[in-house]
Structure 1
């Protein structure tokens, strides 16, 4: 199977997305994801499937523009006149205004504009442009099996135009209302233009990330005499391994590693934190960050799609493409909305004419008003617009939602499980005391040789502190999960380092780590790990929100209880193996929705089994994390913001859906009883989407903490 990524422009709601989805399904595509807000369309197709071009043409027949490659934007010719809603609106506006004046011709003494033939001539350009867009899209959406909103607009405008044409032919001025047909088309173009502007703003966060990608870099090169030369080059031309000079005030052009020099780096684009971070030799610089102070020589480690920034953008786009559970119900309603509205419009015509005894013209006007005031787009925009803004604000705050389902699930969360080491504590350990029964240097050599083979934060810290130049060459070495490290030397001696669980003969828990040789204790090590400064604030936040806190750790009961007591955590579970952690999380999830917060390195199975998994991960590790939510500053302080943003995003979705359903429930009956003209209905319909988009955009500035 081949994965295909397209950009489809012109979609405005999930009804449009359903139409595109249906076309792709008919052409044999699989795993289809369509995002109406960003225009991202991702699907899989068999390599031998020759229907790609046919699918593209059928989507374009719906009135959308398909870009199969971002590079097309460079080579594409300028867009034709009347290719945008804004251009269509301004083109139709003069004709529509003259028709409206003509409608009031007798009052304003504009008899020329009141002439039916003049009105037809003024209406024709508007009607042709309108049907060229709405009519074409309506016909093709009907062919796809998912009628869109343009079916309603095309029917309403066509009914008004044809009925007026009949009135012109039969010389009955009372049947002529060309201004209604023109005003419907023109006002809907205006509404679509406003909608385009609103949707564009919901995508602003992703654009702010991508707009920093093209910058000039100072490339270092050497001539045959080994003289250094520095010359400018666009970062898009860089390759892995290229040498760069980056100075104060300059943006890091691509992901780099420092060869020499030191600098303070602003990584706000990634972490949301504007406080500069100190970087030295061998540290990684993230593309898009800015050198606040200092000069460094670096070499490029990643370019293009492989950079951290691009990984974040791609994960945001993938998250937008996913549908939260609430959207599935909306999609079902949107799929049948247009046929239902057409049925209501026909019923309005029949009831008003035959039972309420209105004139046919008035009955038709009411039926047309029902068609043009109904708005499936409002329902379709409710979820994706809120999700787009919520994801954008989260990214700006240094929070990355890997899936949108988490945003909805946060509303039900009543308990949070915390890992201890590297999560509630900072993960940087120091040796406070140790004792050895053998030579001290040999003891440190053995400990270093074992711990350097482990990825555990404690092991990494000790290996860094006790680094030696002549480590033991193990015949065999392995990590015993939840226990420690085991090594066998060339003479067959077995060494173990870990908690008291490494040897059943060790009954006390006075020390953190023990070292044994062939089952005999040869030393112990005490270590200290400070609590994260924000840990207490986060636990207090959970208590304030009524969320139960649980500490789940593989460390000893004594050490784990000390942390639990210091932070006043509700429940403490210690000496848990990875398997026991997994089983405990599974049990908690069965009881009620549960969040687990970990460092994203250890306890991966337990994290994956939680309702929502939150990883405290460095930005350079983002691309390989599988957590639901990633806090990009490697700290806990963004956890309350992540929880509240999830809840408020879901609240915005609920508010949007309430507005969308309430609008249609009220607007359709109001139009059916003649309280709104078709022109007013078209205006109200256009503004309904703008209200919804504005409510979504409010999430961008809304106080959530």
Structure 2
């Protein structure tokens, strides 16, 4: 049945980057198809228009491409290297038989020639079909070069070398396909991480349902040791949830009623009843998979350079091969067969396999590795930007700090007779206030076990910008700023605490004094706690070469300076409005070019957008962070930032190594033409060797681990 809207299909058998381009063009030329876009990294195609699966597969028959509908991704299976490459094995056996027969019957014997011809046809059938088709359309890619070389070798009677070229090229393609499949496995493992069924209670009846049948509002029952199939909010129960699949954080998180949980995470302890809050296609894990696959389709600047270079490089190689084959015998009296052979060898050695695969294998592997470690990068361009960072700006609240004020000091006046109930009285008064700092004091009273709720507060009043006051059991209490309280309490009492007030304010803490009548009862200091990992993160960033770290905050200069000193940033910008943060980021870009902004993805949206790379904290809980940021740290864990830069720089280094190596191998092999040393088998071996080495070099990124995270755990 024809499809009339945009459809996404997953592909099996997509062997190489150039095949992806050819397949895309073939599908685009189908009747009823208005647009087709192949994502080579994710191995899928998006088609707009009307086309049958049969027609689409026919368009990819040249490369053995098969289609699996996007929602059937669980049918994918890991394949061994030899699976799907039977033609390569048969071709290799025929070549071996041909060599044995040649040793006994002679090189010109019809049986020997037939063995090599059969090896060429079986091993290179798809190669020839595509190559001849390209040749008719004057489209020059690696398969075109190989086809010309093999047919040319057969014409001049080089059957052995022609068949070896076919088998080595087939092996090269098999290795490329296998390595790209390995690189894609990190994303396929994410796709399959959430169960396809869940135990659902609906209308009082418990039943196992496929995730596609689960609705928002259903109650999902998750037993210990089970993975969650859907995103939702805990209704009942308490448990530890391992969220490593989403955040990369292996330490289980305590979850209870009211907390949000995510599909693909593991329930380790108690039974949970969870209200489903998202459909299966909208879950956090589904969004991560989608965004990572889109990221793998985005071409990095290095890849864009390679693609553009290959566009001109391949026709140039065809021209060079023709000149090598024709000029020496035509103008200098050399032997035609010798120079035609060398011209064919030039075509083979010029095949851009290694060059074309050099970039995508590194990018796909790096993005996949980071995704498994809880870092979402939205494209190769941001991977390269992260590698080039010279400065990083951090929002203070919620990024370098927890964003939740806590009581750091509680100093009662020793002269006050009823110290035991003092915290309960303060908690009762602050529970009436809506001030952000009041919640910290109430939480302190609660943690200490004081029954502040049992106290009756009367005549409560909030004095804007100064403090609060109220009456409990006939006594009138006031809690306020030191400047305000100075005029209320006795001078002797105030002087007793004055040194503490100044010391704590210099540390960037908010100080409040508690009084009753004219007596000073206690001092309370409240502060937004600095994350324990912030200081170590700044050290790791400095070691990785990011020397400029800037903290941006709306806090006053004194508080900001104290936090900045504790964290270890190189610069502090305080008393900033959101538009001021934007200006600072623009200034940093003018000075350093490559600048990142780290924030929560909501309040810092303008600054995130203005930076070279916008990095959002805690992407697991906020859709906004996933949508607006270029990089999302899925957990509230700054330690992922140095690791991201490390992987990015390693990926960029590997890409440069691969490009240089691939071109150097070609250059050395082409120089062998001058002394007439270059042979067909040497040429193809150089190409296969280069392809294999750049692929293995790119795959090294799979093994990169977050050492700081491992050490922390």
**2:660 equivalent among 658, 661, 664:** 658
Cα drift, residue 401 of structure 1: 0.7
| Of 419-428 and 9-18, the range deviating more from structure 2 | 9-18
Match of 2:89 in 1: 90
> Contact between 1:8 and 1:65, CA under 8 Å: does it hold in 2?
yes
* Contact map agreement 1:15 1:334 (CA 8 A) in 2: no
Distance 1:220 1:444, change over 3 A: closer
Aligned to 1:5: 8
Instruction: Give the equivalent residue in structure 1 for 2:393.
Output: 417
User: Structure 1 CA distance, aligned partners of 2:341 and 2:329?
Assistant: 11
Inter-partner Cα distance in structure 2 for 1:310 and 1:75: 17
Other-structure match for 2:701: 699
List per-residue Cα deviations over 1:329-378 (Å, max 9, x = no partner).
21111112322221121122124534675533322222222222323121
Residue in structure 2 matched with residue 328 of structure 1 by the alignment? 304
State how 1:104-503 maps to structure 2 within 5 Å: 105=103, 110-111=104-105, 114=107, 116-130=109-123, 132-142=125-135, 146-164=139-157, 177-220=158-201, 230-235=206-211, 237-354=213-330, 358-430=334-406, 445=432, 447=434
- The answer to whether the 8 Å contact 1:99/1:178 transfers is no
What is the CA deviation profile of residues 500-556 of structure 1, one whole-angstrom value per residue up to 9, with x for unaligned ones? xxxxxxxx9998699xxxxxxxxx997421100001111222333251111111111
Q: What secondary structure sits across from 1:595 in the alignment? A: strand
Normalised by the length of structure 2, the TM-score is 0.77
Distance between the aligned counterparts of 2:221 and 2:604, measured in 1? 40
Equivalent residue number for residue 493 of structure 1: none
1:612-627 correspondence to structure 2 within 5 Å? 612-622=613-623, 624-627=626-629
The 3 A distance-change label for structure 1 pair 343 and 163 is same
C-alpha distance after superposition, 1:65-99 (max 9, x if no partner)? 263733578999xx9xxx98612101212221122
Q: 1:158 to 1:142 in 2, by over 3 A?
A: closer
**1:555 alignment partner in structure 2:** 555
How far has the Cα of 1:561 moved from its partner?
1.3
Q: Which residue of 2 aligns with 1:529?
A: 528
Distance in 2, Cα, partners of 1:198 & 1:17: 16
Distance in 2 between residues matched to 1:38 and 1:121, nearest whole Å: 41
Q: Give the whole-Å Cα distance in 1 for the aligned partners of 2:605 and 2:260.
A: 25
Tell me how far apart the structure 2 counterparts of residues 73 and 641 of structure 1 sit (CA, whole Å). Answer: 30
8 A Cα contact 1:550 1:573, kept in partner: yes
Moved more, 591-600 or 149-158: 591-600
- What TM-score does the superposition give when structure 1 sets the normalisation length? 0.78
The answer (yes or no) to whether the contact 2:195–2:264 under 8 Å persists in 1 is no
Whole-Å separation in 1 of the counterparts to 2:607 and 2:43:
35
Q: Distance in 2 between matches of 1:460 and 1:325?
A: 49
Q: From the superposition, tell whether residues 207 and 14 of structure 1 become closer, same or farther in structure 2 (CA, over 3 Å).
A: same
- DSSP-derived class of the 1:447 partner: coil
1:569 paired with 2:556, answer: no
Check whether the contact 1:18–1:335 (CA below 8 A) recurs between aligned residues. Answer: no
- Whether the 8 Å contact between 1:268 and 1:289 is mirrored in structure 2 is yes
Is residue 2:583 matched to residue 1:610?
no
Cα offset for 1:382? 1.3
Q: 1:268 to 1:71 in 2, by over 3 A?
A: closer
Indicate the residue corresponding to 2:519 in structure 1: none
Q: How does 1:627-646 map to 2 (within 5 A)?
A: 627-646=629-648
- Which residue of 1 is the match for residue 18 of structure 2? 15
Find the residue that maps to 2:60 and give its secondary structure.
Answer: helix
Q: Please state how far the C-alpha of 1:191 moved relative to its aligned partner.
A: 1.9
Whether the 8 Å CA contact 1:13–1:37 is kept in 2: the answer is no
1:319/1:91 Cα in 2 relative to 1: closer, same or farther (>3 Å)? same
Aligned to 2:250, the other structure's residue is in SS state coil
- The answer on whether the counterparts of 1:263 and 1:294 sit within 8 Å (CA) in structure 2 is yes
Structure 2 unpaired stretches of 5+: 411-425, 447-451, 454-464, 466-480, 482-501, 513-522, 708-713
SS state of the match for residue 233, structure 2? strand
8 Å Cα contact 2:362/2:655 also seen in 1: yes
- Decide whether the 8 Å contact of 2:300 with 2:380 is kept in 1: yes
Distance 2:84 2:686 in 1: 17
Post-superposition shift, 1:214?
A: 3.7
Q: 1:201 to 1:74 in 2, by over 3 A?
A: closer
Report the secondary structure of 1:38's partner residue: coil
8 A Cα contact 2:222 2:271, kept in partner: yes
Whether the 8 Å CA contact 2:349–2:686 is kept in 1: the answer is yes
User: Partners in 1 of 2:444 and 2:140 — Cα distance?
Assistant: 68
How many residues were matched structurally? 618
8 Å Cα contact 1:311-1:622 kept in structure 2: no
8 Å contact kept, 1:265–1:277: yes
Q: Could you say what secondary structure the match of 1:298 adopts? A: strand
* Partner Cα distance (1:244, 1:156) in 2: 62
Contact 2:430 2:439 in 1 (8 A): no
Q: Distance in 1 between matches of 2:442 and 2:283?
A: 29
- 1:229-251 CA distances to partner (integer Å, 9 max, x unpaired)? 65544545433333332222111
For residues 8-29 of structure 1, the C-alpha deviation after alignment (integer angstroms, 9 at most, x for no partner) is: 5444444334444555777898
* Deviations 1:388-424, CA, capped at 9 Å, x for gaps: 1111111122211122212112333221111111011
- Cα deviations across residues 628-663 of structure 1 (Å, max 9, x unaligned)? 111111121211111111111111111111111112
Displacement of 1:695 in angstroms is 0.2
Compared CA separation, residues 263 and 54, structure 1 to 2 (3 A): closer
Change in Cα spacing, 1:421 to 1:30, as seen in structure 2 (3 Å) is farther
In 2, are the aligned partners of 1:218 and 1:233 still within 8 Å (CA)? yes
Asked if structure 1 preserves the Cα contact closer than 8 Å seen for 2:244 and 2:265, the reply is: yes
Q: CA RMSD in A?
A: 3.9
SS at match of 1:625: helix
Matched position secondary structure for 1:37: coil
Q: Which runs of 5+ in 1 are unaligned?
A: 165-176, 452-457, 470-482, 484-498, 500-507, 515-523
Deviations 1:181-221 (A, max 9, x none): 22221222122112222121111211221222345533345
Question: How many angstroms apart in 1 are the aligned matches of 2:290 and 2:674?
Answer: 46
- In 2 relative to 1, CA 327–460 (structure 1 residues): closer, same or farther, beyond 3 Å? farther
How far off its partner does 1:384 sit? Answer: 0.8
Q: 2: distance between equivalents of 1:75 and 1:52?
A: 20
Change (3 A) 1:196 1:61: closer
Q: Give 1:170's aligned residue.
A: none
**Distance change >3 Å, CA 255–CA 595, structure 1 → 2:** same
Tell me, in whole angstroms, the C-alpha distance in 2 between the residues paired with 1:672 and 1:639.
Answer: 51
Distance change in 2, residues 1:512/1:59 (3 Å): farther
Matches within 5 A, 1:667-686: 667-670=669-672, 673-686=675-688
Distance 1:58 1:355 in 2: 47
| Aligned twin of 1:101 | 100
Contact 1:102 1:119 in 2 (8 A): yes
